[in-house]
Amino acid sequence: MASSTPHAPEAGTRTVTFRIWRGDVSGGQFVVYPVEVTSGMVVLDCVHKIQAEQAQDLACRWNCKAGKCGSCSAEINGKPALMCMTRMDTLPPDEIVTVEPMQAFPIIRDLVTDVSWNYEVKKKIKPFKPRKPDNADGTWTVYQEDVERVQEFRKCIECFLCQDVCHVLRDHHKHDEFIGPRFLVFTAAMEMNPLDTEDRLADLKNRDGIGYCNITKCCTKVCPEHITITDNAIIPLKERVVDEFYDPLTRLFRMFKPK
Amino acid sequence: MARPNISLPQVRGFLETKRQDGWWIQPLLVLSGFTAFIVYSTWAAFQGAHYFTGGPTQPGVQQLLSPFYSPVVWDAAGLESGHAWLGPQPIWWPAWMIFSPALLILPFPGLFRFTCYYYRGAYYKAFWGDPVSCAVGEPKFRGENYRGEEKFPLIFQNVHRYALYIAIAFIAILGWDAWCSYWNVAADGSKHFGMTVGSLVLTMNVVLLGGYTFGCHCWRHLVGGKHDCMSCSKVRQRAYSKASWLNARHMLFAWLSLFWVGFSDVYVRLCSSGVWTDWRILG
């Protein structure tokens, strides 16, 4: 883990000091690496450069380097972000760049965390259950205005940055009571789909802990796909839960509404 | 819940973070803004005076009514605003109980703002540090005792839609007040059209409050968001679209309307007490 001596900077480059968390489940520490940064580099480029030149054993998960696979999630200067989408010229110049793993999930090694909890959560959510086909050939007729809302949610790349920044998971460790913003978006995508016939509102209230969300909008702020998670997914779901469980007038109207 | 347990040893201390940006600026501004408004509105509500201009006792003066005091159920003792629904302060009002027309009114818009989704997120951060800002440590005592809006007492935030119903009625009432501000009553009882700066202040007030109220998340849900099928009703589709436009600017309207409703009271108060002149534009 020791840092090697950096090369002399080339023209058009600058040397930036990186502090990267190195360690595993038994503990760890920040290790300092000087990196020569050139124009256009992103944080992931710098991490790769450190791997290539100074620390071949530095563990880091990545894949597409285009902000679409959601693999390189980390915390850069304390903010959850994709390393491949964080340009070096957007970070404060002449300051140390701190890179550490996501805080809401157990560490595996260095910048890699165990996000498998998310996959287990997803398995528990009732799947999409479409109504009977509209047409004789087994297809459905769907209008654009009916699916616009859910199309936003389909942009999710499952980077889990929203889960990481959510204080309910990050600070209060409510993993066994709260599914987190990612899976509230996932549920909203099915609940608001006009073809879906499943009812997940009781699960949202009783099992998935939607009431734990206190609307900090941190999930929206860190989403690399710019999904308006809180306003377009979580709050509408909260309102549907209110319809079902907390609003006596709505329930009364439903009793007398013609079927 | 039958999900794998997770062991996370790290617990951050209060305000602990590696963020290098000015994460504390926004909660500090929110804290300052809300505190200033709460202090001023509480002071203004307890005054029970200088809440109107014009009316039967001031012929020829434009009729302005402070939004903090609207609707006036009973006028304060010795005053006749011309807006009171039930006349002067009732004689049966207990002497030991402070009376001000605003004290009967402010709890309702107060409840609407208190339970508003935008304000909830803002004051949970600024006042309760829950969290102070994103990825910033919280007070340690909360830890795994966090209850959110899942349990008592914050589960009562779910009354927001009922507060919305009242807020919509207030928009109608304040709209009427704005209309009245374009008229003055002469000594012979005849009404005359006129427009003053105060008329524009009260009109802007109802416009901004309308922008805030009809951008409410509950309103957006009720007018269309609750339905999966948007194409089933063009009216629903358009209502949802308009509400969504306002909803995307909900924070902006929340702050503008909060500032302007306070300024409207200041304007009426200073005109009523003779400090400012309500400049006439027309009529």
Over residues A157-209, the pLDDT tens digits come to: 999 999 999 999 999 999 999 999 999 999 999 999 999 999 999 999 999 99
**In one letter, which amino acid is B98?**
I
Q: What is the pLDDT of residue A259?
A: 64
Give the residue from A215, A230, A252 with the most B CB atoms within 10 Å of its CB, the best one to mutate.
A215
- Say yes or no: A120 contacts chain B, CB-CB below 8 A: yes
- Say yes or no: A98 contacts chain B, CB-CB below 8 A: yes
Peptide bond into B153 cis (omega under 30): yes
Range of the domain at B65: 25-87+96-282
Q: What is the pLDDT of residue A180?
A: 98
Contacts of A215 in chain B (CB under 8 A): 117-118, 120-121, 124
In a domain, B245, yes or no: yes
Contacts of A196 in chain B (CB under 8 A): 228
In a domain, B6, yes or no: no
Which fold does the domain A14-113 belong to in CATH? Ubiquitin-like (UB roll) (3.10.20)
In a domain, B277, yes or no: yes
Task: Say whether A87 sits in a helix, a strand or coil.
Answer: strand
Other CB atoms within 10 A of residue B170 CB: 19
CB contact under 8 A, B3 and A124: yes
Q: Averaged over A216-235, what is the pLDDT?
A: 98
Q: What is the DSSP letter of B75?
A: B
Q: What is the pLDDT of residue A3?
A: 45
Residues contacting A86, CB < 8 A, separation 6+: A42, A43, A44, A76
Are A30 and A110 in contact, with CB atoms under 8 Å apart? no
Q: Between A and B, how many CB-CB pairs are < 8 A?
A: 157
In a domain, B17, yes or no: no
- Say yes or no: A184 contacts chain B, CB-CB below 8 A: no
Are B69 and B63 in contact, with CB atoms under 8 Å apart? no
CB contact under 8 A, B131 and A216: yes
Q: Which of B216, B241, B252 is nearest to B109 (CA)?
A: B216
User: How many structural domains comprise chain B?
Assistant: 1
Give me the residue label for tokens 């003053």.
B196
Q: Which range (A177-186, A248-257, B82-91, B114-123) has the least confidence? A: A248-257
Q: Averaged over B209-223, what is the pLDDT?
A: 98
CATH 1.10.1060.10 range(s) for chain A read 116-256
In a domain, B7, yes or no: no
CATH 3.10.20.30 range(s) for chain A read 14-113
**CA quadruple B242, B164, B41, B93: dihedral positive or negative?**
positive
Q: What is the pLDDT of residue A2?
A: 43
CB contact under 8 A, A175 and B229: no
Residue A140: both structure tokens together: 């459905």
Q: What is the pLDDT of residue A158?
A: 98
Dist. CA B244–CA B186, nearest whole Å: 45
Dist. CA A146–CA A195, nearest whole Å: 10
Q: What is the pLDDT of residue A11?
A: 64
Give the residue from A29, A239, A252 with the most B CB atoms within 10 Å of its CB, the best one to mutate.
A239
Nearest-by-CA chain A residue for B1:
A176
What's the CATH architecture for A116-256? Orthogonal Bundle (1.10)
